[in-house]
Structure 1
Amino acid sequence: MESKHSKYILTGLTVLCVLLICITSLKDGVMDPLRTGVGYFLIPIQSGVNAVGTGIYNEMKNYGTLKDALAQNEELKDQIAQLTEDNNRLQAEQFELDRLRQLYELDQEYMQYNKIGARVIARDSEKWFQVFRINKGSADGVAVDMNVVADGGLVGIVTDVGANYATVRSIIDDSNRVGAMKLDSSYTCIVAGDLTLYEEGRLKLTDFSKDAQIRDGDQIVTSNISTKFLPGILIGYASDVTIDPDHLTQSGYLIPIADFDNLQEVLIITDIKDTGEAAAQ
């Protein structure tokens, strides 16, 4: 049975070979119609295959390009994030450097006093630094009644001390009174803390002699008769001083030099003036 099928297969292949020999022996002119017909059939298929191949190639190329672009975009995002972080860090360092430079200048301005630097770590009020804490305490030599300065002038006085912290009551607190004087005269006065008044950026200036010549902008400093504040520390500037109704004294306002909205670093003067009971500290 198998030999019979093999005979048929061999016969078929022989006939096909003879047919192909005959076809190839014909003249080109005879084959032209066949070639033309085949061309009409194959060319659209070939064009379609080429178009599909080109489209697939372009899609793959575009996908590769998109993939590279996405990778570059992520890399650029990482670079931008790093640069932003570096810029923020440099700005923070610059701000801190500026504050420390101002603190250094303040240190030079009051060279007659011994001082140590401290950082503000907390405050008791959400609005202003009327009572706040610093990161230096008795272990660093800080003691009650030491004067505290910042921003070019007086900030307050130490009222409580722990081993590694201290509490400072600022001059804007309602309970605070500072014995003061006009810088270029011997006329004394009192700077009174007033939180309500400080909403306008001012403190109360009272008990100036009626004979004192006070102009807006005159510097007001701690006086030599103050019992707790060392003399000669700038507090602020006089404003709107007028004669009182009793015609014996003058009163007005003081614009503090220190910024009690934003305190970050301060200097603690470690020299302590002899304390005593008085109406003004």
Structure 2
Amino acid sequence: MKNLKKKFQFRIHLKSKHLLVIMTFFCGSAAVATLASGITTAPFQEAAGMIVVPFEKSMSAIGVWLGNLEKEFHDKQDLISQNEELQNTVDTLTEQNNILIQNQAELTRLEELYKLDEEYSDYPKVAARIISKDPGNWYDTFMINRGSKDGIRVDNNVIAGKGLVGIVTEVGTSWATVRSIIDDSSNVSAMTVGTDDTCVVEGDLELIDEGKLRFTQLYDQNDKVTVGERIVTSNISEKYVEGLFIGYVSDIQLDTNNLTKTGTIVTPVDFQHLKDVFVITSNKQDAVQEEGDEQ
């Protein structure tokens, strides 16, 4: 029992360098014995093959995977660069398209102003741009970038699109305020083109939501005025020059007095998107005075 205990203690306290010497001796003896006996090394080669070959295949697979990963990374970087280039191209084209749309809209407005200038060629005019307006969706009162230095005066008539817009109410050196005919306080003496019957066109900010104005006090005793009749400023208006187009009759009805008629007019002017206007620099009173001087 004591001997076994000593052996056990010997194994426990055996140093690693002693174990290495023993194993080296054992391997060397096995190699010598193998060569001496002519035993084949095939089992050792087979064992090596079972360990080394799978390891080589694994390393090869890892190498291929890393190569593919690197390729995918470069491909992704290329796609990111291409996407950035395409986005820059899209942004540039979008900006150019917006500029073309703005230019087209500007050209359309200028064409309308040119036609309006031709239509009212008898009146001297100054082109102006709207620079501000009262709060709200509609241009019932607004300011333009022309004033007294440009020949603008109070009571100058203002036109745009295809018809009458309003009248100048206040003038500065380089600005002027315009009250449009859709304003609730506006009243325009007008007449029908076909029959020369007079009426009064009144502003109505609620009715303009339908693109319409209201007319009252129409004397049409012969019932000749119908839907579609053209309405223009009359020759008896105190502040508006004669013949400025206001709109078409869209509805008409007899008043309770059985003498006058009331109805609505469709205006050709877009009072929600005004931008450029013409100011007629000669007033109605100028024309009246000229006629008096001639007489």
Q: Pick the TM interval, shorter chain.
A: 0.7 to 0.9
Contact 1:117 1:267 in 2 (8 A): yes
Asked if 1:234 corresponds to 2:225, the answer is no
Q: How many angstroms apart in 2 are the aligned matches of 1:57 and 1:148? A: 76
Aligned twin of 2:165 = 155
CA shift for structure 1 position 194: 2.2
Give the SS at the match of 2:206. Answer: helix
Q: How many angstroms apart in 2 are the aligned matches of 1:204 and 1:45? A: 96
The count of corresponding residues between Structure 1 and Structure 2 is 252
Q: Among 57, 81, 86, which residue is 2:96 paired with?
A: 86
Q: How many angstroms apart in 2 are the aligned matches of 1:244 and 1:33? A: 123
* 1:46-125 superposed matches below 5 A: 46-125=56-135
Give the SS at the match of 1:94. Answer: helix
- Shift of the 38–242 alpha-carbon distance from structure 1 to 2, 3 Å rule, reads closer
Structure 2 residues not aligned, in runs of 5+:
1-30, 288-295
CA shift for structure 1 position 31: 6.1
Aligned twin of 2:4 = none
Q: How many angstroms apart in 2 are the aligned matches of 1:252 and 1:275? A: 32
CA shift for structure 1 position 75: 1.5
CA shift for structure 1 position 30: 5.5
Q: Comparing 83-92 with 36-45, which one deviates more in the overlay?
A: 36-45
CA shift for structure 1 position 231: 0.8
Structure 1 residues not aligned, in runs of 5+:
1-18, 277-281
Give the SS at the match of 1:195. Answer: coil
Contact 1:227 1:275 in 2 (8 A): no
* 1:3-42 superposed matches below 5 A: 35-42=45-52
Contact 1:220 1:238 in 2 (8 A): yes
Name the amino acid aligned to 2:278.
L
Contact 1:210 1:247 in 2 (8 A): no
Aligned twin of 2:216 = 206
- TM-score using structure 1 length: 0.82
* 1:141-220 superposed matches below 5 A: 141-212=151-222, 213-220=224-231
Q: How many angstroms apart in 2 are the aligned matches of 1:231 and 1:155? A: 14
Aligned twin of 2:263 = 252
CA shift for structure 1 position 177: 1.2
Percent identity between matched residues is 43
- TM-score using structure 2 length: 0.78
How much is the aligned-residue C-alpha RMSD, in angstroms?
A: 2.4
CA shift for structure 1 position 139: 1.9
